[in-house]
């Protein structure tokens, strides 16, 4: 069984590697490694079919999970349970690296469906502010993978 995939993707402004694919195990557990710029934040969103564990490898992050805000640094872990709105923001100037571990592979499949293959092992060129059309298309695509966008990115 292949458990250390190194497929590199550029997912929005993030470089993502699939470390363990949900396709390779009966419980569909996925482990993805992310690397992002300072200020990176997804929109506030809900995973309806999977819990998501974040393991900070490098940098400092701010997480909002439900009504609570948390600050994490390298070596710390936090759980975003399915059904609870959550988002994060990379706070460290040098950017951040982290793992996401999900209990279903909807998020992994969403990343694959909305990313481009990375041309290198580096961060992509920043995309800049997303257009309204892009936001609408991303929200529509996310629903196909049981992810609901419910608010803006963290600032």
- Is 56 inside a domain boundary? yes
**Between 5 and 66, the higher pLDDT residue:** 66
- Is 20 inside a domain boundary? yes
Strands (E) in 6-133, as ranges, are 8-11, 14-20, 30-36, 43-47, 52-58, 60-65, 68-73, 77-80, 86-90, 96-102, 116-117
Tell me: the pLDDT tens digits for 140-151? Answer: 999 999 999 999
What is the average per-residue pLDDT within 90-117? 96
- Is 1 inside a domain boundary? no
Which region holds residue 108: left if phi is over 0, alpha if psi is between -120 and 50, else beta? Answer: alpha
Q: What is the CATH number of the domain that holds 82?
A: 2.60.120.10
Check whether 2 has a pLDDT greater than 70: no
Tell me: the pLDDT tens digits for 35-54? Answer: 999 999 999 999 999 999 99
- Number of domains composing the chain: 1
Tell me: the pLDDT tens digits for 116-133? Answer: 999 888 888 888 788 889
- Is 2 inside a domain boundary? no
Band (pLDDT 50/70/90 cuts) for residue 58 is: very high
- Is 3 inside a domain boundary? no
Percent of the chain whose pLDDT exceeds 90: 83
Percent of the chain whose pLDDT exceeds 70: 95
Domain that holds residue 45: 8-153
Band (pLDDT 50/70/90 cuts) for residue 107 is: very high
């Amino acid at each position: 069984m292949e458990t250390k995939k190194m497929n590199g993707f550029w997912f929005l402004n993030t470089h993502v590697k699939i470390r363990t694919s949900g396709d390779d195990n009966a419980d569909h557990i996925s482990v993805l490694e992310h690397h992002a710029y300072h200020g990176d934040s997804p929109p506030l969103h809900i995973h309806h079919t999977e819990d998501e564990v974040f393991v900070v490898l490098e940098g400092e992050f701010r997480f909002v999970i439900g009504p609570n805000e948390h600050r994490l640094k390298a070596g710390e872990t936090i759980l975003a349970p399915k059904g609870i709105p959550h988002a994060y923001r990379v706070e460290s100037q040098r950017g951040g690296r982290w793992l996401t571990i999900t209990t279903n592979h909807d998020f992994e499949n969403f990343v694959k469906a909305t990313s481009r293959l990375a041309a290198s092992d580096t961060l992509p060129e920043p995309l800049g502010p997303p257009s309204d059309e892009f936001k609408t298309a991303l929200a529509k695509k996310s629903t196909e993978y049981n992810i609901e966008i419910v608010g803006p990115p963290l600032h």
